[in-house]
Amino acid sequence: MIAIVDYGMANLRSVEKALQFVGANARITSDPAEIAAADKVVLPGVGAFCASMTNLHGRGLTDSVIQAIHSGRPFLGICVGLQMLFAEGTEMGITPGLGIFGGQVVRFFEKGVPAGCEDLKVPHIGWNSITPAPSSRLLAGIEPGERVYFVHSFYPAPEDPGIIAATCDYGGEFCCAVEQGTVAAVQFHPEKSGAVGMRILRNFVNWE
């Protein structure tokens, strides 16, 4: 069973339906016992980093998520579920994250819009192409230039470039996926990314 962590800040039904579409037994849950017993765990997210961390703590799910990550079971973060894996977010001040990875979650164009990119808006909304790392298991079979769906104003800036599983260009290259061991996460929404997103989710479902 794949546990989809419900902390009140995600498009849970879309993720559940997408996972079921690719053959998974997926269940939305806020029960720590179910998360502990699951074969795989998904942490989705929509909204602000600080509000997401507040909800995760408030519902008593922080330890369950950290234990799942350290258990060696396959773990997938989606959108803000990726961002929360980092040491801290910078939205509305500094907010500590889960600290699984070193680095901050930063806003697009904090230092100004690059020359020639004045037409780019924040948030970054819509389809954009990605460049996967050849070693990524989650993105196996995804070719450079294939397009996925984004909705975000912030993105991770990892301290360790070795965890970057894919990049995207939006006024400059940014990290849009990370992977280390059995932990993977994506800034885009695979559940909204058509056939490409379904291939990514199927890779996760088949991950042993």
- CATH code of residue 121: 3.40.50.880
In tens, the pLDDT along 117-132 reads: 778 889 999 999 999 9
Average pLDDT of span 24-35:
97
Contact 9, 80 (CB under 8 A): yes
**Does an H or E element contain 34, and which?**
helix 32-37
What pLDDT, on a 0 to 100 scale, did the predictor assign at position 32?
A: 97
Q: CA-CA distances (angstroms) from residue 205 to 2, 21, 40, 145, 169?
A: 8, 11, 8, 23, 28
Out of 56-60, 74-78, 89-93, 136-140, which region has the weakest mean confidence (pLDDT)? 89-93
What pLDDT, on a 0 to 100 scale, did the predictor assign at position 21?
A: 96
Average pLDDT of span 44-54:
92
pTM given for the model: 0.96
What pLDDT, on a 0 to 100 scale, did the predictor assign at position 11?
A: 83
The most distant pair of C-alpha atoms in the chain lies apart, rounded to whole Å, by 52
- CA 44/CA 194 separation, integer angstroms: 17
Contact 166, 118 (CB under 8 A): no
Average pLDDT of span 18-40:
97
Which comes out higher in pLDDT, residue 100 or 9?
100
> Residue 78's domain spans which residues?
2-205
The model's confidence at residue 82, banded by pLDDT at 50, 70 and 90, is: very high
Q: How many domains does the chain have?
A: 1
Average pLDDT of span 87-113:
91
Q: Answer yes or no: is pLDDT of 114 > 80.
A: no
> CA 22, 26, 32 angle in degrees (round to 5)?
155
Alpha helices in 59-185 (DSSP H): 62-70, 80-83
**Catalytically annotated residues:** 79, 189, 191
Which comes out higher in pLDDT, residue 122 or 87?
87
Q: Answer yes or no: is pLDDT of 111 > 80.
A: no
Contact 148, 132 (CB under 8 A): no
What pLDDT, on a 0 to 100 scale, did the predictor assign at position 64?
A: 97
What pLDDT, on a 0 to 100 scale, did the predictor assign at position 202?
A: 98
The model's confidence at residue 115, banded by pLDDT at 50, 70 and 90, is: confident
Over the chain, what is the mean pLDDT? 95
